[in-house]
Amino acid sequence: MTQPDDKPNSRACGWQHLETRYPFTYHMFRVREDLVRWPDGHIAPYSYIQTAGAVWIVPQTVDGQIVLIRQFRYTIDAWSWEVPAGGFHDFTGSPLELARRELEEEVGGSSEDWTYVGFFRPGMSLLDEICHIVLARDVRLDRPPRREPGEIIEVHLLPPARALEMARSNEMVDGHSALALLRCEPLLSR
């Protein structure tokens, strides 16, 4: 199955797309396998995971506390310190709109003060994912969370210095959450 040419920069660098197939599709991602002529002339497959992207929210309460979650993750069979996050796989809208939804769903939070901080790409050799970072200030934990089945989450309020210390140490092993916190550091009130 041939795919429209969606890689003009690759073509300009000497890559030639020959065909595309999707050997595995799931509602949150799909595996894409392109047959390509590499810049050195040899022909081989190039496989990676395509996703719809996601958003990571760094929530700070009115009194300056950072809202972290401690979530059980089946994948690693362990608890993980994180910031609230969610994917675009089941959502159409902007990163700020998704951040609002996820803050309410995961921690029961709301805010009227939102700042889009930027984005990062977590694994460019394996994923095409775009990860957005949003800072929510003056967060109120004023409603019951509406978690998805399987989400086992504890909500914790921590001083910014403690949350940042966790992001810099091995205590917060989720790299997406740690990076989101560190990118928001200059914007956090202390």
Task: Summarize pLDDT for 3-52 with one digit per residue, the tens.
Answer: 556 889 999 999 999 999 999 999 999 999 999 999 999 999 999 999 99
Domain boundaries, the chain: 8-51, 54-187
2 pLDDT exceeds 90? Answer: no
Interval 59-91: pLDDT, tens:
999 999 999 999 999 999 999 999 999 999 999
Residue type, 45: P
122 pLDDT exceeds 80? Answer: yes
Pick from 135, 104, 133, 105: nearest CA to 118 = 133
pLDDT at 64: 97
For helices 175-184 and 160-168, give the axis angle rounded to 10 degrees: 130
**Other C-beta atoms within 10 Å of 163: how many?**
27
Q: CA 109 to CA 100: how far, in whole Å?
A: 8
Q: What is the mean pLDDT of residues 162-174?
A: 97
Q: What is the mean pLDDT of residues 123-151?
A: 95
Is-contact 103 96, C-beta < 8 A? no
Q: Does domain 54-187 have CATH number 3.90.79.10?
A: yes
Q: CA 28 to CA 75: how far, in whole Å?
A: 15
Q: CA 190 to CA 63: how far, in whole Å?
A: 9
